[in-house]
Amino acid sequence: MLNKLAASELVLNGDGSVYHLNLLPEDIGDKIMLVGDPDRVPKVSKYFDTIEVKKNKREFYTHTGTLRGERITVMSTGIGTENIDIVMNELDALVNIDLKNKEFKTQHKSLELFRMGTCGSVNPDVEVDNMLVTQNVVGLDGLLHFYSDYEFENEFSKNFLAKFPYDKIKPMLYFSDWAEDLSHYYKDAKYHGNTATFPGFYAPQGRQLRLKALDDKFLETLNDLGISNFEMETSAIYGLSKLLGHKAITVNCVIANRRRGEFSADHQTSEKNMIEWVLERIVK
């Protein structure tokens, strides 16, 4: 790979900011909280002592400020791994590429990335309104297969692949896990588990409106394979973090238990509790 990037490869705005995130290198901290919903960004940053950066473009909203003397960023990603592909590559460009000269920096910088989201559970024993930290993740969207150097295997992935019964979906699967260096932040979470990242909200998550899903027992099958919960972003965050040399960990508030047909009676309060819980732990 050439060190000099073409304008078509690293697309910048007129002010030199990265194209989608609309950010300059000085706009972010070394600790970045990733949330899906743009409306969740101010719900997080209201706890900051100061806010120095407020920028947005499309679904990507960013606030950077200080909390207890530490500079920290919260950013919305929107929904899905295709958006995470944009977020991860442009965040990495901000810290590891000289944007003015479009050249790779000689010294690598590693970011700490904390996904903070909501999820549904496929395990009937997981109670709603509690935090669940993702240790292992399987992506069913195929994104990491577009990157030539990605390889990952552990005991969870080997066991999952050996027993996964859906031949049409199997070629899309890829796996990753948390940055163990960050796991101490969330050691007191009620649940630690294995997450499935889906490429959609309806049939991929077993929902059926006018279209029939592949298998009425899909979620039960995933639970039998060791999956505890599902959402739509973590596999790309974990996998791309490993490729790019960053550290990532996900905590989700469980707002639904699909096996028991339960949904949080007050998910707004659960979301607030999760934000406070995370901030208390990652910024001492």
pLDDT surpassing 80 at residue 3: no
> Amino acid identity, residue 275?
I
Contact criterion met (CB below 8 Å) for 128 and 266: no
Among residues 160, 198, 156, 161, which one has the least CA distance to residue 177?
Answer: 156
Domain 25-282 maps to which CATH number in 3.90.1150.10, 3.40.50.1360, 3.90.320.10, 3.40.50.1580? Answer: 3.40.50.1580
Contacts of 50 (CB under 8 A, 6+ apart): 65, 66
The pLDDT of residue 2 is 53
Q: Whole-model pTM above 0.85?
A: yes
CA distance 15 to 87: 19
pLDDT tens figures, 150-184: 999 999 999 999 999 999 999 999 999 999 999 99
Mean pLDDT (whole number) for 192-196: 98
Mean pLDDT (whole number) for 136-157: 97
pLDDT tens figures, 18-36: 999 999 999 999 999 999 9
pLDDT surpassing 90 at residue 59: yes
CA distance 204 to 189: 27
The pLDDT of residue 97 is 97
Among residues 95, 124, 119, 107, which one has the least CA distance to residue 261?
Answer: 124
Distances (CA, A) of 118 to 2, 81, 132, 144, 153: 40, 15, 9, 23, 26
The pLDDT of residue 284 is 87
Q: Is 43 helix (H, G, I), strand (E, B) or coil?
A: helix
CA distance 81 to 63: 22
Q: Is 244 helix (H, G, I), strand (E, B) or coil?
A: helix
The pLDDT of residue 1 is 45
Mean pLDDT (whole number) for 250-269: 92
Q: Where does residue 1 rank: exposed (0-12), middle (13-18), buried (19+ CB within 10 A)? A: exposed
Q: Do β-strands 229-231 and 70-76 pair in parallel, antiparallel, or remain unpaired?
A: unpaired
Mean pLDDT (whole number) for 134-157: 97
